[in-house]
């Protein structure tokens, strides 16, 4: 996607001035006339451009108009990009966040998607911040689940880990071939984000905006939070005709029923006009429901007539296959994924994810007869709380 013309007027008049000042080959009177014209042009630009900025800001603050960040023109008087995240002495590597160059970010994204993609332009995406990146933490459990799941280890070849900060990026490149550093301008996404805090909201919305970009690049994706264990390949369990398929905190028994309570942590989205329009609408709805996160807003706008107008086919995924702590996938012979949703606090989450992994390993080591007998059930939740809250 090309960047729209920048401050063309100002830029061309600057060039114009430069070209005709100093040792001008033109006769003095001609040169000074041109200089006057250039000065007028510059003045016009100086007046017009801030107006455009003000207009943009006003639109941003009040109306639900969607202006993609990456496509905002870089104005000359934009503040300089923030300094790179602090790097300790042992970290000598190059800065993966060239914040001043959106085109290079775009190119990096294009390349990593291409490399990780399946033949049919489908990728698996997860996001990572420093809090979830340390050894033995969430990301290790996530990767480990692919190795221990049924038919899941080959899917790692299609997984792109999207790092929100430098620490997460550094950790990613140590453990996985496909990492993408997402530039995050002025917000620090590196600490543990407790559910419903401002930082948490920012991170969730940034993620949604990023997923829209992936769709626009023509890639379909399975997005999975890293606190979801993959025990079976989910692709055979998706609906062939759904544009947007999403896991649930609470499943009412029918994939089309809008009363299903969706969980934004796991979804399968096909790239097409409907899904792209829907992601734009979803993001813009943020301004109609300030203070809510993307998952809440989804659960509001799923009823919006505009969602039906878009023509997006929504399918809710059954918790029998795509379960979590809110509503476990009871049968270990069926489970695809288990999410540490309905869980507050990183330590509780890690504790219960480890129990889940142990349960799975015990299940996998059982003889087939015992497996099909359903002799084993989950020992979670233990430390996770069961209230219908799902970070």
Residue numbers of the site for ligand NAG (CB under 6 A)? Answer: 118, 120, 122, 220, 235, 270, 347-348, 351, 383
Query: In the bound complex, what is the minimum distance in angstroms from residue 164's beta carbon to ligand NAG?
Result: 24
Closer residue to ligand NAG (CB): 153 or 383: 383
Query: In the bound complex, what is the minimum distance in angstroms from residue 220's beta carbon to ligand NAG?
Result: 6
Closer residue to ligand NAG (CB): 286 or 351: 351
Closer residue to ligand NAG (CB): 154 or 365: 154
CA–CA dist 359, 158 (Å, integer): 26
Tokens of 341: 């949703």
- Segment holding 233, helix H or strand E: none
166-175 vs 138-148: helix axis angle to the nearest 10?
30
Half-sphere exposure of 73 (CA within 13 A, CB side): 13
Output DSSP code: residue 97.
-
Query: In the bound complex, what is the minimum distance in angstroms from residue 235's beta carbon to ligand NAG?
Result: 3
Closer residue to ligand NAG (CB): 29 or 347: 347
Give 284's contacts (C-beta < 8 A, 6+ positions apart). Answer: 64, 65, 66
Half-sphere exposure of 240 (CA within 13 A, CB side): 0
Query: In the bound complex, what is the minimum distance in angstroms from residue 238's beta carbon to ligand NAG?
Result: 7
Tokens of 176: 């996985």
Residues 292, 298, 301, 306, Cα dihedral to 10°: 130
Closest residue to ligand NAG: CB criterion: 235
Closer residue to ligand NAG (CB): 181 or 226: 226
Closer residue to ligand NAG (CB): 96 or 234: 234
Closer residue to ligand NAG (CB): 170 or 270: 270
CA–CA dist 376, 89 (Å, integer): 49
Query: In the bound complex, what is the minimum distance in angstroms from residue 160's beta carbon to ligand NAG?
Result: 15
Query: In the bound complex, what is the minimum distance in angstroms from residue 221's beta carbon to ligand NAG?
Result: 11
Closer residue to ligand NAG (CB): 328 or 381: 381
* C-beta separation of 284 from 65 below 8 A: yes
- Segment holding 169, helix H or strand E: helix 166-175
Bridge-partner residues for 160, per DSSP? 125
> β-strand 220-224 against 261-269: which pairing, if any?
antiparallel
Query: In the bound complex, what is the minimum distance in angstroms from residue 117's beta carbon to ligand NAG?
Result: 10
Query: In the bound complex, what is the minimum distance in angstroms from residue 205's beta carbon to ligand NAG?
Result: 27
Bond from prior residue into 381 cis (ω within 30 degrees of 0): yes
């Amino acid at each position: 996607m090309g960047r729209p013309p920048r401050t063309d007027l100002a830029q061309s008049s600057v060039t114009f001035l430069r070209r005709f000042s100093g040792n001008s080959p033109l006769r003095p009177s001609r040169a000074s006339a041109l200089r006057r014209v250039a000065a007028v042009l510059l003045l016009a630009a100086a007046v017009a451009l801030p107006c455009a900025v003000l207009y943009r800001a006003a639109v941003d603050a009040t109306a639900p108009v969607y202006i993609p960040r990456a496509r905002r023109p870089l104005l000359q008087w934009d503040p300089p990009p923030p300094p790179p995240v602090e790097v300790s002495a042992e970290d000598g590597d190059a800065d993966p966040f060239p914040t001043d160059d959106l085109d290079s970010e775009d190119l990096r994204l294009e390349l990593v998607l291409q490399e990780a993609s399946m033949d049919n332009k489908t990728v698996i995406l997860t996001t990572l911040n420093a809090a979830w990146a340390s050894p033995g933490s969430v990301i290790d459990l996530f990767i480990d689940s692919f190795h221990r799941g049924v038919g899941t280890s080959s899917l790692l070849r299609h997984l792109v880990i999207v790092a929100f900060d430098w620490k997460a990026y550094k950790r990613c490149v140590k453990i996985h071939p496909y990492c993408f550093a997402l530039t995050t301008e002025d917000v620090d996404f590196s600490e543990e984000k407790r559910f419903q805090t401002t930082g948490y909201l920012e991170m969730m919305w940034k993620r949604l905006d990023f997923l829209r970009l992936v769709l626009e690049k023509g890639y379909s994706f399975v997005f999975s939070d890293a606190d979801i264990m993959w025990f079976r390949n989910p692709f055979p369990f998706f609906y062939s005709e759904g544009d947007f398929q999403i896991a649930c905190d609470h499943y009412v028994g029918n994939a089309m029923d809008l009363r299903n309570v969706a969980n934004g942590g796991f979804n399968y989205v096909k790239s097409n006009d409907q899904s792209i329009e829907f992601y734009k609408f979803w993001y813009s709805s943020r301004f109609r429901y300030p203070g809510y996160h993307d998952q809440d807003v989804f659960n509001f706008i799923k009823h919006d007539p505009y969602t039906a107008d878009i023509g997006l086919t929504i399918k809710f995924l059954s918790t029998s296959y795509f379960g979590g702590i809110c509503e476990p996938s009871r049968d270990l012979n069926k489970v695809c994924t288990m999410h540490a949703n309905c869980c507050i606090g990183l330590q509780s989450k890690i504790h219960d994810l480890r129990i889940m992994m142990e349960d799975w390993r015990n299940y996998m080591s059982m003889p087939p007869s015992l497996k099909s007998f359903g002799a084993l059930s989950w020992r979670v939740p233990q430390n996770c709380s069961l209230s219908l809250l799902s970070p």
